[in-house]
Amino acid sequence: MYFQDKVVWITGASSGIGEGLACALAKRNARLILSGRRVEELERVKKICAGDSSHSAILPLDVADLDAALTKAVLPYMIEQRIWLLLFQLQFMAV
**pLDDT tens digit sequence for 10-29:** 888 999 999 999 999 999 99
Contact by Cβ (8 Å): 5, 32:
no
Domain locations in the chain as residue ranges? 7-87
Q: What per-residue confidence (pLDDT) applies to 25?
A: 92
Q: What is the pLDDT of residues 28-86, one digit of tens each?
A: 999 898 988 899 999 999 999 977 666 788 888 877 777 766 666 666 566 566 776 66
Greatest CA span in the chain, whole angstroms?
A: 44
What single-letter DSSP state applies at residue 37?
Answer: S
3-class secondary-structure state, position 10: strand
- Specify the pLDDT at position 4: 86
CATH number 3.40.50.720 is the correct assignment for the domain at 7-87: yes
Q: What CA–CA distance (Å, rounded) separates 3 from 55?
A: 12
